[in-house]
Amino acid sequence: MTDQYSSARDTAVTVIGLGPMGSALAHTLLGKGRSLTVWNRTPGKADGLVAEGAHRAATVADAVAASPVTIVCLNDYATMYQVFESAGALSGHALVNLNSGTPAEARTAAVWAAERDLDYLDGAIMVPPALIGYDGSALLYSGARDVLDRHREILADLGDPRHLGADPGLAVLFNTALLGMMYATINGFLHAAALTDSAGVPAAEFAEIALGWFMPVVLDPASLAEQAPNLDKGVYPGDQGTMQMNLNALEHIARTSVEQGVHPAHPQLMKQLAEQAIAQGHGTENYFALFEILKNPGAETPLRAMRPNIRSGS
């Protein structure tokens, strides 16, 4: 796509969607000296930004036309299509879509943009609104690398722009994977705190041990990073502990949860996955062999064996 913008317009950027995150993006861009145009379905949400110097576009088409690049921060892909339905021809501009959704939705959106002759990047914001614009705040992007390179200076105002690859679905895939890890970690802490709470131990007392010693030593990120090459190679030496040994521990966690009246579903699921790994021949390998089960859930053990038994704790 030829460059149809003068150097005077290189600082121009449009933000569509002024929820908490979109507003944070817009305020940051204004603070960086960008010429900002904004549009929101509820026009009043732009009042504060307009007072600070932003231009309020009357329509989506006007908003996109005002800048070489438009950053979209709406609820989801369906909302984006709805908002742009009446925009008409937008050829020759770039859209950077920071909605949330699935990889398939991102790939469909890239096709939708290409049909309208729009450059397109799909992205994911990995920090809360308060950290937008700070060094080290990561924003993930996927799609055509040249689109990111062309608008890198503007996107860098928001945080560290990391390009993951040409597949438009990679940014939301990474986002989902990282959020899944976050929720699993939080759920693990909450379940553990609930176990000790069942004996009258304050969460603050438990946290001092769990977060002050156990997690930094046992779940050190560096030690997990050391295992990553083995995941790629499918090598899981069991000389320091086998899946069968870990199953014993998981059985104790599940039984204790039942005994203490704490919700047992979380440890029971982990136990069932370990049982499936053993049933598929990983019993003498280490716990990281569970990666093979998570990658290939199709080779499941019979449904009856996978169904939790709340009464027995199995």
Query: Is the distance from CB of 94 to CB of 113 less than 8 angstroms?
Result: no
**Backbone φ and ψ of 8, nearest 5°:** -65, -25
Q: Give the C-alpha separation, 224 to 262, whole Å.
A: 29
**What confidence score (pLDDT) does residue 300 get?**
54
**Backbone φ and ψ of 28, nearest 5°:** -65, -45
User: What's the mean per-residue pLDDT of the chain?
Assistant: 90
pLDDT, tens digit, 9 for 90 and up, residues 21-44? 999 999 999 999 999 999 999 999
pLDDT of 89 > 80? The answer is no
**What confidence score (pLDDT) does residue 86 get?**
79
State what percent of residues in the chain have pLDDT above 70. 92
pLDDT of 186 > 60? The answer is yes
Q: Give the C-alpha separation, 164 to 145, whole Å.
A: 9
**What confidence score (pLDDT) does residue 297 get?**
86
SS3 270: helix
Lowest mean pLDDT among 57-71, 222-236, 292-306: 292-306
Q: Give the C-alpha separation, 165 to 285, whole Å.
A: 33
In sequence order, the 6+-apart residues with CB closer than 8 A to the CB of 83 are: 16, 17, 41, 60, 74
SS3 205: helix
pLDDT interval class at 245 (50, 70, 90):
very high
**Six-digit token pair at 37?**
């145009």
- Average pLDDT of the segment spanning 233-247: 95
Q: What would the DSSP string read from start to end of 64-81?
A: HHTSSEEEE--S-HHHHH
Report which DSSP code applies to 221: H
pLDDT, tens digit, 9 for 90 and up, residues 95-125? 999 998 999 999 999 999 999 999 999 999 9
Report which DSSP code applies to 15: E
pLDDT, tens digit, 9 for 90 and up, residues 250-306? 999 999 999 999 999 999 999 999 999 999 999 999 999 999 999 998 765 443 344
**Six-digit token pair at 125?**
């914001």
Q: Give the C-alpha separation, 95 to 88, whole Å.
A: 15
Q: Which domains does the chain have, with CATH numbers?
A: 7-167 (3.40.50.720), 174-306 (1.10.1040.10)
pLDDT of 194 > 70? The answer is yes
